[in-house]
Amino acid sequence: MPEAVRTARYDATAALSEYRLDPESAFGGTVLLVVSELVANAVRHAADRSPTVDVTLAVGAGQLVVGVADADPRLPDLSPHMMGRGLRTVADLARAYDGALSAEPAVRGSGKVVLVRFVIPDGVGPF
C-alpha cells in the first residue's frame, strides 16, 4: 500500500504542476492528502477485487476534480455516520474548498469511481 500511495502522490504532484497549480500551496497539499486517502482506501478495501487503482485529476471551469477508480462495484456509504475517518477527512477537506465527495458506478464495466470536487481558490491557478 505505501508504494501505491507514494506513486499516486508523485503523479498527482506532476499533474498539479502541469495545471500550473502549486503542489506546495495549502490547496495543493489538500489535493495530495485527498489523493493519498482515496488510494489508501481503495487498496485497503478493494484489493481483493481490484488489482489496480486509476487516479485522475481534471481541471476546468474553476474546479479541480480528483477521481479514484477501482474494479470493486461496492459503493462506499457516504452518509456522515457511516464514513470511516479517512472518508470523513476527505469530505471535510472538499467542503473547505466549496466542494463535495461522491461515489458512482463505473461508466464502463464493473467497478466504481470516488470523486472529490474542489473549487479552485482565487489566486491559486491561472483561472
Q: Residue 126 has what pLDDT?
A: 55
Q: Residue 45 has what pLDDT?
A: 82
Among candidates 45, 40, 31, 33, which has minimal Cα distance to 111? Answer: 45
Cβ atoms of 78 and 101 closer than 8 Å: yes
Per-residue pLDDT of the chain (127 residues; tens, 9 = 90+): 679 999 999 999 999 999 999 999 999 999 999 999 999 999 998 777 777 899 999 999 999 999 999 999 999 999 989 999 999 999 999 999 999 999 999 988 789 999 999 999 988 865 4
